[in-house]
Amino acid sequence: DQQVKQNSPSLSVQEGRISILNCDYTNSMFDYFLWYKKYPAEGPTFLISISSIKDKNEDGRFTVFLNKSAKHLSLHIVPSQPGDSAVYFCAASAYGNDMRFGAGTRLTVKP
Amino acid sequence: EAQVTQNPRYLITVTGKKLTVTCSQNMNHEYMSWYRQDPGLGLRQIYYSMNVEVTDKGDVPEGYKVSRKEKRNFPLILESPSPNQTSLYFCASKGPAGTGPYSNQPQHFGDGTRLSIL
């Protein structure tokens, strides 16, 4: 039973445009959400997070939006750069406990 | 440099031959965990440990063992590996979540161990 779902296995965008990666969750107890980025032959690295008391968090080119009523979050990357090409994982946790991860979305940014 | 170190990075072995994947972190984190990554399934937790001598099953613990005798080390043991355990494995650690809800700490991941069991 996957509590965190990333329904798009892949996404391709042009350099300079916006990348939008989506994530849905089913567990209403989740109160903290994270995005990780993974390059080949490396482990996932933390990118940005948001707690459920907020609906938006920004860090440079990266913004995460949370829609609690829809149980949906998204990661916006503006502008997208070729170096952003990677697999992006969405993760969620409840009360500081273990994180549940989505299946990942492979982002390709074309020059 | 803060890091989580896994060894080996790659291993090809045969069914039934016991193997251990080591994991060590230098951040003095109490929490450590093991995940496996499979296509279309993302990262699934195998085991986790909240502190020394405390371990718990994750979502897919069957066929695996762990131990936590020291804070920095959290080895993953496959007593009798089988082909369905062929996967990419990640060890991770994190600091304390803080008090109350709406918080957590990001996990720090190792670079992964690719296991192939023939």
The rounded distance, in Å, linking the Cα atoms of B18 and A86 is 34
More confident: A22 or B95: A22
Query: Are B101 and A6 an interchain contact pair (Cβ–Cβ within 8 Å)?
Result: no
Over residues A60-82, mean pLDDT: 97
Read off the pLDDT band of B111 (50, 70, 90): very high
Euclidean distance between the first and the last CA atom of chain A, given in angstroms as a whole number: 38
The distance from CA B26 to its chain's CA centroid, rounded to whole angstroms, is 15
Cα distances from A101 to residues A2, A93, B1, B80, in angstroms, run 8, 9, 26, 27
pLDDT of B56-68, one tens digit each? 999 899 999 999 9
Interface mutation target, options A3, A25, A93, chain B, most CBs of B under 10 Å:
A93
- Verify whether the Cβ–Cβ distance B102 to A42 is below 8 Å: no
Q: Percentage of chain B with pLDDT > 90? A: 80
C-alpha count within 13 angstroms, C-beta hemisphere, residue A39: 7
* A109 close contact with B: CB closer than 8 A: no
B79 pLDDT band, cuts 50/70/90, is very high
**Residue A99 DSSP SS3:** coil
- Please provide the average confidence, as pLDDT, over all residues in chain A: 94
Give the model's pLDDT for residue A6: 95
Q: What is the pLDDT averaged over residues A76-99?
A: 92
Closest CA to B116 of B10, B9, B6, B12: B12
Q: Residue B99: pLDDT above 60?
A: no
Distance from CA of A25 to the nearest CA of B (A): 14
- Output DSSP code: residue A48: E
Q: How far is CA B37 from CA A51, A87, B42, B64, B91, in A?
A: 25, 12, 5, 15, 11
Going by pLDDT thresholds of 50, 70 and 90, the confidence category of residue A2 is: confident
Q: How confident is the model at residue B2 (pLDDT cuts 50, 70, 90)?
A: confident
pLDDT level of residue B47 (50, 70, 90 thresholds): very high
Does the beta carbon of A98 lie under 8 angstroms from any beta carbon of chain B?
Answer: yes
Query: What pLDDT does residue B92 have?
Result: 95
List of chain B residues whose C-beta atoms are within 8 Å of the C-beta of residue A64:
none
Render pLDDT for A20-52 as a digit per residue (tens, 0 to 9): 999 999 999 999 999 999 999 899 999 999 999
The answer to whether the CB atoms of A34 and B42 lie below 8 A apart is no
Share of chain A above pLDDT 70, in %: 99
